[in-house]
Structure 1
Amino acid sequence: MPTIKYLKTNTSKVYTSSKGTKVLLEALWGDRIELVNNNKVNGRYKVNVRWAKNVYIKADDLGDNPLLELYFIDVGQGDGVLIVTPERKHLLIDGGYKRSKQPHGKSAADFVDWKFKKEYKQDTIELDAMICSHCDADHYGGLWDLLNPNEHEQQELDTSKTNVKNFYHAGISWWKSAEKSRFLGDETGGVMHDLLTGKTSIKNGLKQNADLKLQGEWADFLKTIIASDADVKRLAHNPDKGFKYLEGFEEDKDTAIKILGPIENTLNGKPVLKDLGSYSKNTNGNSVLLRVDYGRSRILLTGDLNKKSQRHIIDSLAGNLIELAADVVKSCHHGSDDCSYEFLQYVNAAATVISSGDDETHAHPRPNIVAASGVTGFKKIVNDEMVTPLIYSTEISRSLRMGDPYEVNSKNYQTPDGKIDVVLDNEAKTNIRYKHTASGALNPTDKVKTMSRLKVVDGIVYGLVNVRTDGEKILCATLNEGKSKWEIKTFTSRF
């Protein structure tokens, strides 16, 4: 087995040779470093780090202590968060729209696939937990990509298989019946009655003769969950029963994950969730709400909570509102302005990460919520410089390399009549036909434009936001791809 180390400095240069000055990339605090051998040359170890093999790094920058790592993945419209614990457990929360419904053809599945194949050199993705915060397609789609055999058969992913130990969900589900083609079940009495629970509940909902059947792509996704052999559980917090934790991440563990929502009540001996007034309010508002604790650090993961649900959470946690306070929070619902200012005050986050997407109609993040996240954040100023609060956005961190097309050159293009060469150098007279996929669209749209009105995108830099902590210090980082350097901010947990 290779010797594994972890970067103990904020950053460290990775060199192409043992004594040269050419830098290939910059490693980040907590990065997993695999020693190729134990021989130091000019104070450097030969290592494999991230995608780079047989490169060199300063030996004094390496230590033995892994960190808690959170990767807020740029999935366009939607959410995707990969958690890697110091115990090297992996949890994936949401995944964005599935790849075929993404304008850029990527979901969280691609990042997780890269992590296991390129960094860990593993052919199988091993997830200790897959968590679907709620049943909207911009959250479960990327999870579906990992379990859909077609993605592997078509070689869309480099790994060959994904194993999931536990699958968790919020309970609210898309159903259909003889009377309704798509709905959320019984909503009488101001509560949601028909909650999805474990495997038996899913299997019953997939039966062709069921009165209440699982509906649409949500049903297709859940079929892959059943086929995966994962244990299936619904997550909720019942104020009458006390707080619960994810299995294997209990209060006495180094990494604890506390379940704060959705808020469950009991009616006639059965669990129910609050009816928040509409389908979108209910799917979003009854999202899974989790708090990840490691050492003194707290990270709050909020799904798509809205103002009504946040008010309900505040009322339900009366006397325990300190439970919402966190160092880092994932902004609710991509920075939507359907948000409680009071809720943000209780969270009082030092850093907020907004997962929002381009090419969509929601105009996220909303400027008043970006401002509110700053105003309600934990303020710390040192030497006349603001340390916190910090606001990150996956969309802002994304960039495109673009150019102007001026020639179409199709060398040795095979046609039914033989080989021909085509060169078109008058872009104003050259029409280009292409397909455009809006975020979450069911089908791509055929479009035609002259080449002079189009831009060429020759690369996308995805807006990944890194959050890492040793339980005391917290580091937030985004990568400046042009300079191959990390833009980092650090602060100390206050808990």
Structure 2
Amino acid sequence: MPNTIKYLKSEKAKVYTSGTGNKVLLEALWGDYVELVSNTVTNGRYKVNVRWAKNVYIKADDLGDESLLELYFIDVGQGDGVLIVTPDRKHILIDGGYKRSKQPHGKSAADFVDWKFKKEYKKDIIELDAMICSHCDADHYGGLWDLVSKEESARKELDTSETKVEAFYHAGISWWKSAQKSRFLGDETGGVMHDLLTGKTSIKNGLKQNADLKLQGEWADFLECIIDNNPDVKRLSYNPEKGFKYLEGFEEGKETSIKILGPIETTVNGKPTLKDLGSYSKNTNGNSILLRIDYGRSRMLLTGDLNKKSQQHIIDSLSGNLIELAADVVKSCHHGSDDCSYEFLQYVNAAATVISSGDDETHAHPRPNIVAASGATGFKKIENDEMVTPLIYSTEISRSLRMGDPYEVNSKNYETLIGTIDVVLKNEAKTNIRYKHTASGALNPTDKVKTMSRLKVVDGIVYGLVNVRTDGEKILCATLNEGKSKWEIKTFTSRF
């Protein structure tokens, strides 16, 4: 018989290594998926599997039957990655960061999703009810590509054997090429973007060798993998003349609803178009998918890489319905870029803001004025002379490195022209270390050389995952203090 599934009802709870001892292995978090190994309570504890731990123990009083809405803001370095788990255990992945081969730390959202299914759920197949690419920039679709790629090098990085995607959604703006141009976004005449990618047939046509307008570069390679996976494919947008739409299966009235607020669609000569916001980067970022997730009284707003011009366009298009932007939790637009509308942030009025940013100093995200603006425009709640909200989280700030000083290089049975020898190098000033450095999104790594005395060893990375969970009224935000193996938790109540 399959094991009984429970969920943690306490904000956090100790997970013990035995049924009677007091040695704690880890802390479980409110809403954690807990598999009962035995239905028998011994010494007030159940034997369970929880998170990555098998055959451990947890107090029976900490367990209940209510599942929560869970959002995981994944530390992907430069880029975005959000995994949503609904109370009825549907899984939606929005973006994934650069693909791992272009990440300095070699990880993308694919690695977290793989861990979730293999280690926590004990499943060999990743099953996503929806995969959403907020827009066609590589720091958003790359980690999705890692999940659906058929290349052996990508698959061997995952512990699961397969990824199944039921539906794939995108924003419409696409990278194209033609006989005249090697890389562009299509026809931009009349102040609008005309050549929008739509469904599966649109992708297949764009992949044809003899097409006049062909899908371009790695974006084309990624979409080819999507077609091979065979999900339903749809473009998402909001057309003010047609009213609001919802993600299929998450319509209004469902336990969890997902409303589509952007990009803003208009119609020209009977065909859908999106606003031309200027440069290529303004258009890919500004025409990102904008979603609001509602569960009970709680609201979560996911913004992609919206910029100031697109945010002002959204405000104009939602005139009379600006309350639609208000949310308890918002993912900060474009990694905390200062190309952001203060007015937009005021309408959102978030109690908690999560910034997904990386270490690439060429971007310098998050910008200090936007961190300040997110706090200044946030929903303010003070209790007992302490500020409950607004809260500001950053995946980059939540990340940490374990560092060490190298003092010796050794190699046993090292092959030389005169046979094998044991080599030990201890002179740090005269020992050169050659290594490859990859900037975020770089096409090729750079060869570098430094003496051992000028280098540090990174012997571990603690990823800055930000957890958000709600029962529809109370909202919990948490990050894990890896040094203490304890959760740092803040909670507040939805105002909607």
Report the TM-score range of the alignment, normalised by the length of the smaller protein: over 0.9
Compared CA separation, residues 152 and 40, structure 1 to 2 (3 A) = farther
What does residue 238 of structure 2 align with? 237
What does residue 307 of structure 2 align with? 306
What does residue 141 of structure 2 align with? 140
Summarize the alignment of residues 18-417 of structure 1 with structure 2, pairs less than 5 Å apart: 18-151=19-152, 155-413=156-414
Query: What is the letter of the counterpart of residue 174 of structure 2?
Result: S
Deviation at 1:414, TM superposition (A): 5.5
Deviation at 1:360, TM superposition (A): 3.8
Query: What is the letter of the counterpart of residue 51 of structure 2?
Result: R
Query: What is the letter of the counterpart of residue 242 of structure 1?
Result: G
Query: What is the letter of the counterpart of residue 290 of structure 1?
Result: L
Deviation at 1:297, TM superposition (A): 0.2
Deviation at 1:388, TM superposition (A): 0.1
What does residue 463 of structure 1 align with? 464
Q: Distance in 1 between matches of 2:37 and 2:419?
A: 51
Compared CA separation, residues 451 and 152, structure 1 to 2 (3 A) = closer
Compared CA separation, residues 39 and 343, structure 1 to 2 (3 A) = same
Query: What is the letter of the counterpart of residue 216 of structure 2?
Result: Q
Deviation at 1:155, TM superposition (A): 1.4
3-state SS of the aligned residue for 1:291?
strand
Q: 1:396-445 CA deviation, whole Å, 9 max, x = no partner?
A: 00000001100012234466875432111111110000000000000000
Query: What is the letter of the counterpart of residue 24 of structure 2?
Result: V
Q: 1:219-257 CA deviation, whole Å, 9 max, x = no partner?
A: 000000100010000000000000000000000100000
Q: 1:198-227 CA deviation, whole Å, 9 max, x = no partner?
A: 000000000111110000000000000100
Q: 1:367-408 CA deviation, whole Å, 9 max, x = no partner?
A: 000000000000000000000000000000000000110001
- Kept in 2, the 8 Å contact 1:300–1:326? The answer is yes
Q: Distance in 2 between matches of 1:413 and 1:351?
A: 55
- Kept in 2, the 8 Å contact 1:70–1:82? The answer is yes
Runs ≥4 residues deviating over 2 A? 151-154, 411-420
Structure 1: stretches of 5+ with no match in the other structure: none
How many aligned residue pairs are there?
A: 495
- Kept in 1, the 8 Å contact 2:84–2:93? The answer is yes
Deviation at 1:145, TM superposition (A): 0.3
Q: Distance in 1 between matches of 2:147 and 2:155?
A: 13
- Percent of pairs with identical residues: 88
- Kept in 1, the 8 Å contact 2:260–2:290? The answer is yes
Q: Distance in 2 between matches of 1:319 and 1:420?
A: 78
Query: What is the letter of the counterpart of residue 478 of structure 1?
Result: T
Q: Distance in 1 between matches of 2:249 and 2:458?
A: 44
3-state SS of the aligned residue for 1:40?
coil
Superposition RMSD on alpha carbons, in Å? 1.0
Q: Distance in 2 between matches of 1:414 and 1:6?
A: 56
Q: Distance in 1 between matches of 2:139 and 2:125?
A: 25
Q: Distance in 2 between matches of 1:298 and 1:419?
A: 65
Q: Distance in 2 between matches of 1:303 and 1:83?
A: 15
Q: Distance in 1 between matches of 2:171 and 2:418?
A: 58
Q: 1:52-95 CA deviation, whole Å, 9 max, x = no partner?
A: 01111111000001000000000000000000000000000000
Deviation at 1:153, TM superposition (A): 6.5
